[in-house]
Amino acid sequence: MAKTTSLTDPLAIKARLNRAIERELRRCAERMGQKEWAKHQEWVTDLVVTSAKEWLAHQASKGAL
């Protein structure tokens, strides 16, 4: 059985992506301010999550995971 690492363990990959998403959403909220964040939070969150999924698919297609 192949040894899993943080780059191949599904739970580690999921945790890494979740942390990256949370950091990016926090950064966006801080820069936009409370009023603008309330107005744009939904679509920004959708964009960040979709981008993370695309990055993951790209990394997997390169064999990097």
Q: Which pLDDT belongs to residue 10?
A: 86
Q: Which pLDDT belongs to residue 4?
A: 57
* Per-residue pLDDT tens over the stretch 10-58: 899 999 999 999 999 999 999 999 999 999 999 999 999 999 999 999 9
Judge whether 2 and 60 are in contact, CB under 8 Å.
Answer: no
SS (H, E, C) 12-50: HHHHHHHHHHHHHHHHHHHHHCHHHHHHHHHHHHHHHHH
Q: What letter represents residue 43's amino acid?
A: W
Q: Could you give the CA distance from residue 8 to residue 45 in angstroms, rounded to a whole number?
A: 26
Bigger pLDDT: 2 or 20? 20
CB atoms within 10 A of CB 19: 10
pTM of the entire structure? 0.81
